[in-house]
Amino acid sequence: EEVLGFAVEEGSRIRIKAVVEEEEGICCCGNRGDLVRESFVFEPLSEDSLALWSQKLRDYIDSLGRPKRLLIFLNPFGGKKSATKIFSEDVKPYLEDADIQITVIETKHQLHAKEVAKTMDLSKYDGIVCVSGDGILVEVVNGLLEREDWSAAINMPIGMVPAGTGNGMVKSLLHAAGEPCCVSNAILAVIRGYKHSLDVATISQGKTRFFSVLMLAWGLIADIDIESEKYRWMGSARLDFYVCPFMLSGFLLCAYIIAAIQRIFHLRHYNGRICFVPAPGFEDYGEPMSYHCKPTDEESPKQEESLKTQQHGYLGSDVKFEDMHWRTISGPFVSVWLHNVPWGSEDVMAAPNAKFSDGYLDLIMVKGLPKLALLSMMSNMNDGSHVESPYVTYIKVKAFILEPGTRVEDPTKEGIIDSDGEVIARGNVTYKGNQKPLMAYDKVQITVDQGLATLFAPK
């Protein structure tokens, strides 16, 4: 566990390159302290012994199935724009110690990583590593699933190193293993080569599809996530800051605090409806309904069948919605939040019961929430206890339909549908973004494919 690699040096010496807990010696019980790189040198007494030691060490390390060739995506624009420094100072030395060959690609624009993942020669690599926030991971997964050979491509293991705004996926992985969310633990998870399967959600509207690995939000959480983009320089603290400024120290600018208070005390409520297939144990939530879905004018059954034969890439689950037992809940809603993993960012445990590959999404729904209760709920999001609020419904679902509506307070305005930190649909709202949304502000369907993707993860 502690050994990264080794090198044979002049003078018949072998240098073992390892990680140790600072001032604690070799880590025998997991990564519980601050890790530092260290080396240990020994000198066999003969040339034969040196050759034998070298061969045995190499054979053993090779037997562990660790990656030897990695493609690194580096996002120099994410979060506090520190990814380049993090890579050069904190990531690259570990990879060099482990004698891993790397190819580094700095992303130049949005969807750059997706374009590369969609066309790359997979045979050249044993894995992909994203030194970034969660956005590059999402791009890579979408790129792999849009390939003609998607069924093989999606088995490519993906690693995460926290260097962005949210870092929810790597936080979830490391927290599940009882390890702090830091760069050294994240890159060690990649080097050691352990893997974990990950559910992938397919969000569809007609023939348009988007593959999600983190979350989908509509209402309060989506508004906060997207409208706080102007504070992205603050990193993951921007979410806490925007929804609960009282949690942060008083040196922050008053203008930001005013904006945050305005969002809470001018709370929006949204008309609409959600439909879902509950996981076992959650069948009593909502009201029963029958699933009826007529093809749109632009997508008849024949056109849909033709699409499946012509379009490359993964088209989503083959599950038949009409064969499932559906329930429904109508608005108004304050927030609807679907989560695939426990943490939404390093500071927000959105769905404390979420699992990486259980085949379900965790639904966190808020209705009828007084403003003071909202302040209390938001302050509890760092440990997941917000789901215990009487105003929160927290269940697991297998499939989901969102039918978004207008704001109760102003029916001329609508909302934002946010998936994995990006706007996928924008209604008639005050917030204006630069990117054209992928979908219309209308009904979207979500299904879950259990364990479809693969991540490098701590043991």
Residues labelled as active-site residues? 134
Q: Are 154 and 147 in contact (CB under 8 A)?
A: no
Three-class SS state of 143: helix
Q: Is 59 left (phi over 0), alpha (psi -120 to 50) or beta?
A: alpha
A 10 A CB-CB count for 305 gives 10
Q: Please name the residues in contact with 265: beta carbons below 8 A apart, sequence gap of 6 or more.
A: 371
* Cα 211 from Cα 445, distance rounded (Å): 12
- Give the dihedral of Cα atoms 364, 367, 372, 378; nearest 10 deg: 10
Respond yes or no on whether the N-terminal peptide bond of residue 332 is cis (omega within 30° of 0). yes
| DSSP output for 167-236 | BHHHHHHHHHTT----HHHHHHHHHHT-EEEEEEEEEEETTEEEEESSEEEEEHHHHHHHHGGGGGGGTT
* Cα 359 from Cα 48, distance rounded (Å): 54
The radius of gyration of the chain's CA atoms, rounded to the nearest angstrom, is 24
Look at the block and give the residue holding tokens 């700095």.
106
330 pairs with which residues across the strands?
A: 273
Short-list 211, 206, 231, CA closest to 443: 206
